[in-house]
Amino acid sequence: MVEGRVCMSREAKLEFLKRKRLQRMKTESLNDLSCVSNMLSRSGGDALRSSASCGVRIQVNTDSYPGSGASFNGKDIFSKHKVAKFDTSNLDWIDKIPECPVYCPTKEEFADPLVYLQKLAPEASKYGICKIVAPITASVPAGVVLMKEKAGFKFTTRVQPLRLAEWDTDDKVTFFMSGRNYSFRDFEKMANKVFSRRYYSAGCLPPTYLEKEFWHEIACGKTDSVEYACDVDGSAFSSSPNDELGKSKWNLKELSRLPKSVLRLLEKSIPGVTEPMLYIGMLFSMFAWHVEDHYLYSINYQHCGAAKTWYGIPGHAALDFEKVVREHVYTNDILSADGEDGAFDVLLGKTTLFPPNILSEHGVPVYKAVQKPGEFVVTFPRAYHAGFSHGFNCGEAVNFATGDWFPMGSISSRRYALLNRVPLLPHEELLCKEAMLLCTSLELEDPDYSSADLITHHSIKVSFLNLMRFQHRARWCLARLKAFSGISLFTHGTILCSICKRDCYVAYLNCNCYAHAVCLRHEPRSLDFPCGSNRTLCLREDILDMETAARQFEQDKVVLHEVQQQHRKTDDFSILLNMFPRAEDDGYVPYCEINFEWPEDSVEQTIHEEAPNASGPVVSDLDSSMEPKDYISTGVNVQGNANCNLGDSSSMKLHGDVFSCGSARSEISSSASSNVHQKVAHEADCRTVIDQDSDESDTEVFRVKRRPRAEHRSVHDSMSINVENQVEFNSH
């Protein structure tokens, strides 16, 4: 008998192990069912079972996720059923998805990531994603960094049901916190055990084979769920001076602060955006279809472990992607908005996964990448992407933006406002800051701009001119409508509109009690402030400098032509056209002089260094020469005499002809500005908007990446949202 066992063939051994595995799984399944039954009777239905194949029994409190679809009324959220809209019987489409571009830079090309990516962008962005093979490697492994350099490092995981859904009110997929804490090595052992039990191997399997295995498992496999540690604070790049990759500019801890990064202007870090996060996966851990916050770029580095399959959609096909999802994935009863924004709102939940062939069948281009350790994957603005892991692995991701991102950022800001979602970044402020820096740089006549730099400059100029032309025309319309009774100058940072939550940096309207800031995109005659009908137009103190920069940019005829072509097609222009349809007939031209006859009690002006006590609080954290504060960051020092006007190149005529508008551009004289009595002081109503010692703050701040699903509120509602404890299920 001993000799017979030694001589047993390999096939016989595999068959023997297979029978043993099936017997063990059957026993474990029966034990799990008994255990789940006992847990349900004890907890009243608050505990959920996990996959037996994972070897982990996980308890989840479904009360924490109202409306998530987690239900025990005859339906197990882990149970699989055939979803007719996703035909997975034939997986031949897997071999037909084309690969995304792969780049292998030299060490010289690899010197600066943003310079290199600017060169790649015109070509690579057509695919939505690209892969970059690093010419240098980390000498300190990620496991060593997380176990030794970061002593005590632990993380919790999320449970991901491994199934397809109907995506209606009764059947959606939701990810849950597992409640289990792992060390890096403990999770690795668990994940490797799951892999070896399934495939009787500890080695890598062909990517295409595992891709077919994944979609088969999603559709009709026996594995209920997997665990995924996503959005884990921290980095696996070593701090050792001897680690070549760790001390390079490709260290994701440093990338957002590089000179060409727009996000360098943010003074405070945003986890997952300016600060990287870790993504530690196992076999079939997934990241659902999603687009980055504010349509930012993302870059993901694979530190170690098994490969990861990515699917990417080019940014230019984003609306087509959303249309397919809206019409062929979701049912109408779960769409929270009409039209093209309905699917976008649900996709923000980042739990929607479906096979990409449904996109290809409807004409949406899809590209694939198989990422291995030592490789970067970059996603471009507005590029939807999804994917899964081939086994235990550890990746790291961060967002970034260069100047060519601003047009996409503007689109995302509009969509957030339409859906009443709190923005994560002060887009308007970032744009103004970057434009003013560019204007200063151009005055130096620096000849060392590359062709990629010139493309970036063009995007900044066009975006900035669209903003400044809108702001000037809006002020002209408000003056003609007599929508405000005075002007107040300010130097504080961005605040949020109390109606749509748009970020306001250049100008906004406010009420008598300074509690209802409103952006200039709302019809003023429809505003109903509880404190009365009097409104103040609040203008940034250095608005003249910004409009001077805009006029300088307009000297570029190519830029001006593009702005003129775009301007009348924008949503902002449509708003103003409805507000005042015959502006040109009444003599309006861009940057014309806007005159306003002040009432006697509103001649005295103030410059607010701090934000008013508005329901739209100060939210920007941009770099400033002032002392950093939690609630405010002003990039502008208070001047002794500020020009108080509604136009760009002319002074405000306090007692001139009412609402007269001239096209002539006059220079600002010192006498004109000195005629305006300035009172540079903090008034009683100019209070800080965040009291760190109080739990009654009604503020929202750009601090935490994860946002809750925004509630729709009226202008009078409190805007109190606890963002610290909200999670948004993600990602890479």
**pLDDT at res. 584:** 84
Task: Tell me the one-letter amino acid at 519.
Answer: C
The whole-number average pLDDT for the span 81-91 is: 85
* Confidence bin at 37 (pLDDT 50/70/90): very low
Which element (helix H / strand E) includes 579? helix 571-579
Residue 448 has pLDDT above 90, yes or no: no
The whole-number average pLDDT for the span 124-143 is: 96
**pLDDT at res. 302:** 98
The whole-number average pLDDT for the span 311-322 is: 97
Residue 465 half-sphere exposure toward CB, CA atoms < 13 A: 27
Residue 549 has pLDDT above 60, yes or no: yes
SS3 180: strand
**pLDDT at res. 701:** 36
Pairing of strands 486-490, 605-608: parallel
* Confidence bin at 459 (pLDDT 50/70/90): very high
Task: Decide if 416 contacts 423 (C-beta within 8 A).
Answer: yes
Q: DSSP character for 259? A: T
Residue 411 has pLDDT above 60, yes or no: yes
Task: Decide if 422 contacts 496 (C-beta within 8 A).
Answer: yes
Alpha helices by DSSP H, listed for 223-340, are 318-328
**pLDDT at res. 337:** 73
Residue 651 has pLDDT above 60, yes or no: no
Residue 726 has pLDDT above 50, yes or no: no
The more confident residue out of 557 and 332 is 557
Residue 119 has pLDDT above 90, yes or no: yes
Pairing of strands 176-182, 155-161: antiparallel
User: Where do the domains of the chain lie?
Assistant: 92-402, 427-586
**pLDDT at res. 112:** 96
Phi-psi region of 92 (alpha: psi -120 to 50; beta: other; left: phi over 0): alpha
Alpha helices by DSSP H, listed for 95-251, are 113-124, 142-144, 184-199, 207-220
| Sign, CA torsion 367/373/378/383 | positive
Q: Distance between CA atoms of 168 and 127, rounded to whole angstroms?
A: 31
Q: Distance between CA atoms of 162 and 216, rounded to whole angstroms?
A: 10
- Fold of domain 92-402: Jelly Rolls (2.60.120)
Residue 22 has pLDDT above 70, yes or no: no
- The per-residue pLDDT for range 172-227, each reduced to its tens digit, is 888 888 889 999 999 999 999 999 999 988 778 999 999 999 999 999 889 999 99
Task: Decide if 702 contacts 516 (C-beta within 8 A).
Answer: no
The more confident residue out of 415 and 703 is 415
* DSSP assignments along 43-102, one per residue: HTS------GGGT------GGGSTTSS---SS--TT-----TTS--S--GGGGGSPBPPE
- The per-residue pLDDT for range 49-84, each reduced to its tens digit, is 233 333 333 444 444 333 333 443 345 678 787 888
The whole-number average pLDDT for the span 312-341 is: 89
Phi-psi region of 496 (alpha: psi -120 to 50; beta: other; left: phi over 0): beta
Residue 359 has pLDDT above 60, yes or no: yes
Residue 255 has pLDDT above 90, yes or no: yes
Task: Tell me the one-letter amino acid at 393.
Answer: N
Task: Decide if 547 contacts 646 (C-beta within 8 A).
Answer: no
**pLDDT at res. 622:** 58
Residue 713 has pLDDT above 90, yes or no: no
Q: Extract the runs of DSSP E, i.e. beta strands, from 276-361.
A: 277-281, 286-290, 297-305, 308-312
Percent share of the chain, pLDDT over 70: 71
* DSSP assignments along 607-648, one per residue: EESS--S-SS-B---B--SSPP-SS---SSPPPSS----SSS
Residues forming beta bridges with residue 503, ordered by sequence position: 496
- The per-residue pLDDT for range 475-530, each reduced to its tens digit, is 999 998 889 989 999 999 999 999 999 999 999 999 888 889 999 999 988 888 88
Task: Decide if 260 contacts 401 (C-beta within 8 A).
Answer: no
Percent share of the chain, pLDDT over 90: 52
φ and ψ at 633, to 5 degrees? -145, 110
Residue 659 has pLDDT above 80, yes or no: no
* Confidence bin at 416 (pLDDT 50/70/90): very high
**pLDDT at res. 170:** 80
Please name which of 211, 218, 287, 224 lies closest in space to residue 50, comparing C-alpha atoms.
224
Mean pLDDT rounded to a whole number for the chain: 77
